[in-house]
Structure 1
Amino acid sequence: MAEGWRQACLLRERLLTGSSVPLLAPPNTIRLFPGEVVHASAPMRHEVWYGMDVTYSQSVVAFGGPVLFAAGLLASAVGNARARSNAARMAAEQWRFHGENQTILTNHRILAFAGGRWLTWAHQSVMELWAAPREFAVVLVFSGIDPLRLTGPAAPWFAVALAFILYGQGFLAERPEFQGMGTLRAHPQRASGPNALGPGEEGRARG
């Protein structure tokens, strides 16, 4: 974590003094767009915000005389209520883990190899960047697709680079979430958690 924070601070300092986002040699087998360049490649934890359709089955267990029959109906009602509650909790919109995947940042998009296939998120589809470098998290909200949250040691670096690529130097200099990222400052002790930075929460970086 400490090295990731230090590298992010150094990147912000360089970008604010006129440097460009660093370049990496492109992977040998990945096809890039004309003019596309690679800025970073690092393992990141991926989560996507969405709800689900969840079904559950109801059961009725009733047998014996009146007392046993009533007890059976009560047990069934309790079990069905619990099943409904569990289904509602599972269906609710929430961050859903999609693996820790090698993640590539280019000047055009984010790429990741997950679940046996390549996934891409184009910068031109980004509507909002919610950066939380001190939480080692960055959220991208898109037009037409579900929000993506990236967390891990490289998240502060990705947050700084994305802020610069998407909004420019002024945004990176002025936004409060990037303030205090001095190179001599101790890295934050609070790491990203499962509830850090969800849609509708504080800490957004808006354009």
Structure 2
Amino acid sequence: MNSWTEEELAHGWHSAAHLRRSLLAGCPVPRLPPQTVRLLPGEILHGDTQLRHEVWYGMDVTYTHSTFAFGGPVMFAAGLLASAAGNAHRRRQAEAMAAQQWRFHGHNRTMLTSHRVMAFASDRWVTWEHRAIVELWPTPQDFTFTLVFNGTDPLRLTGPGAPWFSVLLAFQLYGPAFLAERPEFHSMGTHVPSPGHGRVIEGARERETWGDPAGGT
């Protein structure tokens, strides 16, 4: 798995900044030509790219509790202490694994339409409809954004195309005032940020495509 290049991140950043300026200027929402993926009647495809998917949830984890002691009183006590230490270590590991956290769910083809976010993950298409989104948390400087839903686990999407997706989602979900006034988008100028202040973003090297307000792709 390769890290996304500076060129790919710069392309994503400048495309997102251009989209924001265009939408705030009243230009039409960009659209892509039809793909093989069937859409709903009246649904419009806006973006199609590869993004890293993470989902926030906890899980049930079990561990083996063991007791091992042998020999005389001294050796017996030492064995009990060793068993207790091992059990405590396994319990801490299980607790850490079970805690709610971001869990990696692959680098997946992700599409943004007028109705929903779609992804091809684990050999099937998964859909998150706009009407189920309760909150959008954009972090374009880190090339990521988070979606909080009604009835399902939060989703975090990361990659060169994430700022572009978050700009258009902000416009779709909240309108131009949100896109213009939210401080997360104020820094979208010519300077390309370093994501996560040095944190490496890893992902498959894929060609990103998204709609161009001028009409191209």
Same fold (TM over 0.5): yes
Equivalence for 1:92: 99
User: 1:188 corresponds to which letter in structure 2?
Assistant: P
The TM-score, its normalising length taken from structure 2, stands at 0.86
Match status 1:40 vs 2:74: no
Deviation at residue 105 of structure 1 after TM alignment: 0.4
Q: Could you list the per-position Cα deviations for residues 110-165 of structure 1 after superposition, in whole angstroms to 9, with x for gaps in the alignment?
A: 11111111111110000000000011010000000000000011110011010001
CA distance in 2, matches of 1:181, 1:62: 64
Equivalence for 2:145: 138
CA distance in 2, matches of 1:96, 1:20: 36
Equivalence for 1:108: 115
User: 2:32 corresponds to which letter in structure 1?
Assistant: L
RMSD over aligned Cα, in angstroms? 1.2
Match status 1:20 vs 2:25: no
SS at structure 1 position matched to 2:51 = strand
User: 1:141 corresponds to which letter in structure 2?
Assistant: V
Structure with the larger RCO, 1 or 2 (CA within 8 Å, 6+ apart)? 2
Q: Which is worse superposed, 172-181 or 91-100?
A: 172-181
Alignment partner of 1:152 out of 147, 150, 159: 159
| Equivalent residues in 2 for 1:1-207, closer than 5 Å | 1-28=9-36, 30-182=37-189, 185-191=190-196, 193=199
Equivalence for 1:200: none
SS at structure 1 position matched to 2:46 = strand
CA distance in 1, matches of 2:61, 2:143: 32
Structure 1 runs, 4 residues or longer, greater than 6 Å off: none
Q: Could you list the per-position Cα deviations for residues 35-58 of structure 1 after superposition, in whole angstroms to 9, with x for gaps in the alignment?
A: 101000000000000000111110
Deviation at residue 19 of structure 1 after TM alignment: 1.2
Structure 1 residues not aligned, in runs of 5+: 195-207
Q: Which is worse superposed, 17-26 or 68-77?
A: 17-26
User: 1:5 corresponds to which letter in structure 2?
Assistant: W
Deviation at residue 191 of structure 1 after TM alignment: 4.3
CA distance in 2, matches of 1:105, 1:148: 14
CA distance in 1, matches of 2:68, 2:158: 46
User: 2:82 corresponds to which letter in structure 1?
Assistant: A
SS at structure 2 position matched to 1:166 = helix
How many residue pairs end up in the alignment?
191
